[in-house]
Amino acid sequence: LFVEDDLPGAGLVTLSADQSHYLGNVMRARIGDSVLLFNGRDGEWEASVAEIAKKAVTLSLKARTRDQAASPDLWLCFAPIKRARLDYIAEKATELGVSHIVPVMTRRTNAGRVNTDRLHANAVEAAEQCERLDVPTHTDPQKLEKLLADWPEGRRLMFCDEDLSGKSAVEALRETASNTTDPWGILIGPEGGFDDAERAMIRRMPQTITVSLGRRILRADTAAMAAVALWQAAIGD
């Protein structure tokens, strides 16, 4: 279970109402049952159920069972799409090891308001399921121009362009002398694609590789997952 508490030396951890409901009512945990906790900083800790009250389950911390493993520094920047698929992207990006999620507003983005609390909740659930020891961070939606203007020095950019002008992603990634500690970002466009001015702006970015994910036009969520999986296979861990 993901908790916000500092874990070393915590002694007792009281779960949130939602987590208490999950553990107490859904999982029907009993006093003494063992639970694994992580907070994204202190590794994985074993705890046992110490008290099951109506609104709060309290756990007694035992010992660290796994050290904190650093995830690759991989941002997924994508133009948000309809809500159901946004849930899918948050979940799959977490399973595939993305460290930071950036919803990007482009000229043709036509998604509604992006609910970042929901995006975070889906990422937490996916991190618990895939036994990651951290949860991807996220930002509020950013305009493409601002994302590129504020792009961190030294972070490499994998621009996925469906116009087939790019090299195959695997070939392009293999050619970059990169290792898992280099910071990267992957940029995926909206359902209507990037417009020419946006494409030109992205291609002018330093340390950018333009890649193709194959001959077929993928849905934005499919493209995001394919790109992250290929990056992980070529560079990640």
Residues that bind ligand SAM (CB under 6 A): 160-162, 188-189, 191, 193-194, 212-214, 216-220, 223
Instruction: Write down the least CB distance from residue 212 to ligand SAM, Å.
Output: 4
CB-CB contact of 122 with 87 (8 Å): yes
Instruction: Write down the least CB distance from residue 231 to ligand SAM, Å.
Output: 13
> Closest CB to ligand SAM among 54 and 215?
215
> Closest CB to ligand SAM among 8 and 214?
214
For the purposes of burial, counting CB atoms within 10 Å of the CB of 78, is it exposed (0-12), middle (13-18) or buried (19 or more)? buried
Instruction: Write down the least CB distance from residue 196 to ligand SAM, Å.
Output: 11
User: How far is the C-alpha of 184 from the C-alpha of 204, rounded, in Å?
Assistant: 16
Residue 96: which residues within 8 A CB-CB, separation 6 or more? 225, 228, 229, 232
> Closest CB to ligand SAM among 29 and 224?
224
> Closest CB to ligand SAM among 39 and 109?
109
> Closest CB to ligand SAM among 83 and 167?
167
User: Which residue's C-beta sits nearest to ligand SAM?
Assistant: 189
Instruction: Write down the least CB distance from residue 192 to ligand SAM, Å.
Output: 6
> Closest CB to ligand SAM among 60 and 232?
232
Instruction: Write down the least CB distance from residue 135 to ligand SAM, Å.
Output: 25
Residue with tokens 């007694």: 60
Instruction: Write down the least CB distance from residue 45 to ligand SAM, Å.
Output: 40
User: How far is the C-alpha of 164 from the C-alpha of 175, rounded, in Å?
Assistant: 18
